[in-house]
Amino acid sequence: SLVTAINNERRAAYTSLAVKNGVTIEISGQLTFEKRYPSFPAGTWVQIQGKWLRKGM
């Protein structure tokens, strides 16, 4: 499915960054999210600590 393909690509990117920076895949994903979050438009749904939240409007 499209979702599976996107998730696999994301996982591969996080793995590559993790190896490059000497961190876990989870930390790599978290750092990427923290870097990109400010650029998300208001109203974007994001999953934070297992809960879906809408970025402030």
Domain boundaries, given as residue ranges, for the chain: 2-54
Per-residue confidence (pLDDT) for residue 23, from 0 to 100: 96
Contacts of residue 42, defined as CB under 8 A and 6 or more positions apart, other chains included, come to 55, 56, 57
What are the residues facing 33 on neighbouring strands? none
pLDDT digits (tens, 9 = 90+) for 2-51: 999 999 999 999 999 999 999 999 999 999 999 999 999 999 999 988 99
CA–CA dist 24, 32 (Å, integer): 12
- Identify whether the C-beta of residue 14 lies closer than 8 Å to the C-beta of residue 28: yes
Residue 57 in this model has a pLDDT that exceeds 90: no
- Confirm whether pTM is higher than 0.75: no
Q: Where does residue 43 fall: left (phi above 0), alpha (psi -120 to 50 degrees), or beta otherwise? A: left
52 band by pLDDT with thresholds 50, 70 and 90: very high
